[in-house]
Structure 1
Amino acid sequence: MSSYKRILSHLYKQRYLALLPVLSIALTVGLDLYNPYFSRILIDKVIIGKQTKLLTGILITLISINAIRGILMYLRSYYLEMVSENTVLDLKYDLFRHIQSMPFKFFDDMETGELMSRMTNDIDNIKAVIAYGASIFIECIVYLISATILLLNISVKLTLLSIVALPFVAYLAFRFEKLIDRIYGKISDQAAKLNSTAEQNIAGMRVVHAFGRWNYEREKFRKENKSFLDLNIEETEIWAKYIPMMDFLSGLSVIIMLYVGGLMVIKKTITIGELVAFNGYIWMLIWPVRNMGWLVNMMAQAKASAGKIMSIFNAKPEVADAKDSIAVENIRGHVVFKDVSYKREGQTILEKINIDAKPGSKIAIMGTTGSGKTSIVNLIGRYYELTSGEITIDGINIKDMSLRNLRSCIGIVMQDTFLFSDTIAANIAFGKPDATMEEIIKAAKIARAHDFIMSMPEGYDTVVGERGVGLSGGQKQRIAIARAILKDPKILILDDATSAVDMHTEKEIIEALSNVMKGRTTFIIAHRVSSVKDADEIIMLENGRIVERGNHRELIDKKGKYFSLYTQQYKVFEFIDEEAI
């Protein structure tokens, strides 16, 4: 139960608002208890006793009770919905905030569809318990206690005989809960898999169409859907096995009551009115028992969902602010790697990396796919946590800086360009929400994005599709560059930022960026020599190690891996232009 304290804490915040519906439930049940009582008076005193003067008063009282009960039911429903909605609002925000605090590694291992399932389906299951399950549970408890006392007051013998089957119902409910809890855990997991399959397919629909893999994707979805169906059928089988038995045993109480109660009326041990009242109260006892299966089912769903949500809450971010983290002002951008190594799941990604990037310098990183280029720049902003060594900015260990402060001084164009489904202007201003339109346009012009933006129907107010659908790879990349430029960072990271543009556009962007890079420490990851030849230092990586370093001229003279890459990219020419070298 302690693991669910975080979820329960959100419900606890609504405790004062919850008092009104709880009081309404108690009063509603209290008023219900009068109906059998007045039925007893009506039969014994009005019908049998001929005291007809009581009839008008009884009818007025019953009408009043039902009117008040209607008002209480409204208050109960309205305020329970308020409590559940407010609790879910806080819980969703808390979960979203926690997810946002997680490092890149968390999202590498977690599928988007699963996270969406936790944020929607699982939280909805918890909401159902608060809005409906909690009220039914409270009602059941009050009915059980009140009805039992009133039944014993009419006849102890008849009460004990009537409830003899109820312990067996409780045992079946316990068994039912154990089985249904297990199956709901599986259903929740499978629902997440189904969502992930659908989400990936829809997001990659262009690839599916391009390769004509409709049948493959349909079959993959069908299999996941079939597994989901099988689990729900298994759930239905459990219901079919236990619920009818619970209904039969609870209904047995009525049969016993009618038989024994009828004999007691004949022997004049109780009156007919008392038997009718007893019947009313016994149903108040049976109703909670019969609802036990439904209640257990709802609670099991919520319990499974809460477990899935808590598994996310329990995932602690490996990258977090230190207790005494500091905010550094006037950052110059002197970035130093000291014997930095990075391992992931036991595999060495980077080993003994040493880099000294002076303020305003331009560091280029090259290497084959998987050599660790992106991992190096991801460590600067602590998107991943290094395994050993240290990285400093202006002599301060980045672990001592607050994450907000650290990342505020970094502008990054990532390898996988992501744009939000929003206007182009909003996407460019994402890192600087208070930017003026003039600043946005200036950044777009530097990134060579202004012309194509203005050719679009609504210019900067054009809404791009999800993930930038509707734009070419080069257009998305130029918007991402504008976004990084507008932030005006002291450290600029360009992770293959011009890979999706043609050579001519790349040249224009590099020329424009040359002015932007002045006064900023810039890390450039690229595959094209043309993008890096003006760098102060070019680092060649291989299997997570630095195998060559130097400027363009020095590496050409070494005739090593960089020279080999250079000649390979320029082999279409009959000679190497000495000026270019």
Structure 2
Amino acid sequence: MKALAYLNHYLVKYKWYLILGTLFTIISNLFGIIPAQLVRYALDLVGETLDIYYLFDGSTIQSEMYDVFTSTILLYGLMILAMALLKGFFLFLVRQTIIVMSRHIEYDLKNDIYEHYQTLPMSFYRQHNTGDLMARISEDVSKVRMYVGPALMYGINLIVLFILVISYMVSVNAKLTFYVLLPLPLLSVSIYVVNSMIIRRSEEIQRQLSNMSTYVQEAFSGIRVIKAFVQEKYSFLNFQKETEDFKNKSLNLTKVDALFFPIIMLLVGLSNVLVIYVGGQEIINGNLTPGNITEFILYVNMLTWPVMALGWTTSQIQRAAASQARINEYLEQKTTISSEKKLKPAIEGALRFENVGFLYPDSGIRALQKFTLDVKPGESIAVLGTTGSGKSTLANLICRLYDPTEGTIYLDGVPLKEYDVRYLRKQMGYVPQDVFLFSDTIANNVQFGTDGLPHAKIEQAVKDADLLANIQEFPHGFDTRLGERGVTLSGGQKQRLSIARAIARDPKILILDDCLSAVDTNTENIILNNLKRIMQDRTSVIISHRVSSAKLADRIVMLDDGYIVEEGTHDELIEKDGAYKELYEKQLVVEEEI
């Protein structure tokens, strides 16, 4: 219950739903108990009236007694019907309050988790997979909702019904009450044990179903590879193993499920037998009437479902506690990317790196070491290096997706940590190495991250990225909807659309992280010429492994193993006859061969 304490502020927020739900539960149970008493009165009336009725056999009084008797029985019947209707109405109100409250809490909890997810740093997402994040915001929240909804409703109903029914039963006959309740704890424990087994095996089935779905999805996604390597039979045999496992787990669940209702019927039947046996002795002793026995049997059946629900409720609370503990694990993680001063000054674009070092916390890889560099406002810098030299890490640090583990980065002479994080990122146009496009229209992907752009500006951004001709060929033009992760487009088209998205927001600082790797040389030259105009009076950082992209910059920085090994213009670095010249000559030879 310690983990579930997190939900208390939601219960306080929706306290009126809970209070009204409890009130309606009490009223509905009162209307459930009264019919049992009416049945007792009616049954005792029948027994008493019959004896007197036969005494006046053949007289006119007998006929009058019959009329009064039938009218009274009819009245009892109508009252029982009215009580049943009122109980049903208030049960409806119970669900309209407590279950509705659980849906509100589910909605709030999902929103809070999603909002919190977005505040967490990139290091968090490197350490946790997407499936786990999705499971906690969907499946775990659904299990928590079962606690604040049905489990809470049945729990309140159980407490109210026990207090009302048992207190009345004890007032009628304490001995009979004891024997009636004797099998009920055993019933609850049995249901708890069986239900726990059912839940555990159901979860195993769900996991196996997930594995099977993942396998099928992967097989169909990679059907081209399967066919090319003639692995259809092998793929089918693997699928057959998965389905065999699923079948066995389903059969195991069915075997346990078969115990559920026989156990319930056995123990409920035992309670009824005890009521009749012990109650019969009490009738013989003159302590009870036949109406009391019937009333007690009705009470036993009224208590059966709440006692059954006790085992189910306990299991649901355990599952909810485990799920909420998983949710709390992420909610308790706080972002380190924050700002105390939250400055929002006008940005000129001067960047300064002072002995910047960075160590990835999850892998322990040191990406940058003693990185020192000054970038003037409006200056363009190209950062070149081999794979793993720390180029992309530099882009992440400028956007403050990470903070340096050593040294300081300044923007216009102010440490990046003092700027408001959202404001800082809005001043930057970032084209990541791993292009990501949303399942939306081309126009919405271009204006993503803005408050909306006029069509002319969207078209100009796409034109600068040399993608306008391709879009005009699509039947729906800018309204063309992209598939998942932009699958509708080719690799080069996706990169160019990502460039258009970055330049459309007219950023103060433009960061291009190896964004032309998937385009041909001719397209690269067109984009570079367009970018030359765009980068004027705009601080730009071009990260690439291709020298052709670097020539566009005012200065070039060569990285190796996180260190700056060379720095200067294209001509200066060629004269140095170092790492840059070696890379330039290698790529020149490759281009000539092509």
TM-score (normalised: structure 1): 0.89
Give the CA RMSD over aligned residues. 3.1
Aligned to 1:531: 549
What secondary structure is seen at the aligned counterpart in 2 of 1:383? coil
1:117, 1:191 within 8 Å by CA — same for their partners in 2?
no
Deviation at 1:422, TM superposition (A): 0.8
State whether residues 425 and 460 of structure 1, in contact with CA within 8 Å, keep that contact through their aligned partners in structure 2.
yes
Q: Which residue of 2 aligns with 1:19?
A: 19
Greater shift, 168-177 or 488-497, is seen at 168-177
| Equivalence map 1:108-507=2 (5 Å) | 108-169=126-187, 248-249=266-267, 251-319=269-337, 321-322=338-339, 324-344=340-360, 345=362, 346-507=364-525
Conservation of the 8 A alpha-carbon contact between 2:191 and 2:308: no
1:199 to 1:104, Cα distance in 2 relative to 1, 3 A = farther
The Cα offsets for residues 345-400 of structure 1, whole Å up to 9 and x where unpaired, read as: 33322221112111111111111112211011101112123211111111111112
1:553 pairs with one of 557, 561, 571 = 571
Q: CA deviation at 1:17?
A: 3.0
2:530 is equivalent to residue 512 of structure 1: yes
Name the % identity: 35
Instruction: Indicate the larger mover: 408-417 or 239-248.
Output: 239-248
Tell me which residue corresponds to 2:57.
none
Q: Kindly indicate whether the alpha-carbon contact (under 8 Å) linking 2:192 and 2:315 is maintained by their aligned counterparts in 1.
A: no
- What TM-score comes out, normalization by structure 2 length? 0.87
SS at match of 2:138: helix
Counterpart amino acid of residue 17 in structure 1: Y
Determine if contact 1:243/1:293 at 8 Å carries over to the other structure.
Answer: no
Q: Does the C-alpha gap of structure 1 residues 219 and 370 become closer, same or farther in structure 2, counting only changes over 3 Å?
A: farther
Instruction: Give me the whole-angstrom Cα distance separating, in 2, the residues matched to 1:396 and 1:225.
Output: 61
CA drift of 1:160 comes to 1.4
How many angstroms apart in 1 are the aligned matches of 2:509 and 2:29? 67
> Structure 1 residues 240, 342: closer, same or farther in 2, change over 3 A?
farther
Of 263-272 and 416-425, more deviation after overlay is shown by: 263-272
Per the alignment, do residues 549 and 401 of structure 1 end up closer, same or farther by CA in structure 2, a change over 3 Å counting?
same
Question: Pick from 59, 64, 75: which aligns with 2:82?
Answer: 64
What runs of 5+ residues in structure 1 fail to find an aligned partner?
576-581
Per mean C-alpha deviation after superposition, the further-off stretch among 282-291 and 149-158 is 282-291
Seen in structure 2, the aligned counterparts of structure 1 residues 175 and 41 have a Cα distance that, compared at 3 Å, is same
Would you say the 8 A contact 2:3–2:324 is kept in 1? no
| 3-state SS in 2 of match to 1:54 | helix
Verify the 8 A CA contact 2:194 2:259 in the aligned structure 1. Answer: no
Task: Return the letter of the residue paired with 1:342.
Answer: F
Shift of 1:540: 1.8
Deviation at 1:417, TM superposition (A): 0.9
Between structure 1 and structure 2, the one with the greater Rg is 2
Contact kept, 8 Å, 1:144 with 1:284, in 2: the verdict is: no
User: What 5-or-longer segments of structure 2 have no aligned partner?
Assistant: 51-67
Offset of residue 56 of structure 1: 3.0
User: Is the alpha carbon distance of 1:439 and 1:325 closer, same or farther for their aligned partners in structure 2, counting shifts above 3 Å?
Assistant: same
Q: Deviations over 1:118-151 (max 9, x none)?
A: 2322222233344422222211111111111111
Deviation string, structure 1 residues 227-284 (Cα, Å, up to 9, x no partner): 7777777777776778865764454322222211122223322100011111111222
How much has 1:14 moved relative to structure 2? 2.0
The amino acid across from 1:68 in the alignment is L
Shift of 1:330: 1.1
Q: Structure 2 vs 1, CA of residues 414 and 222 (structure 1 numbering), >3 Å: closer, same or farther?
A: farther
Amino acid at match of 1:12: V
Q: Which secondary structure state, in structure 2, belongs to the residue aligned with residue 122 of structure 1?
A: helix
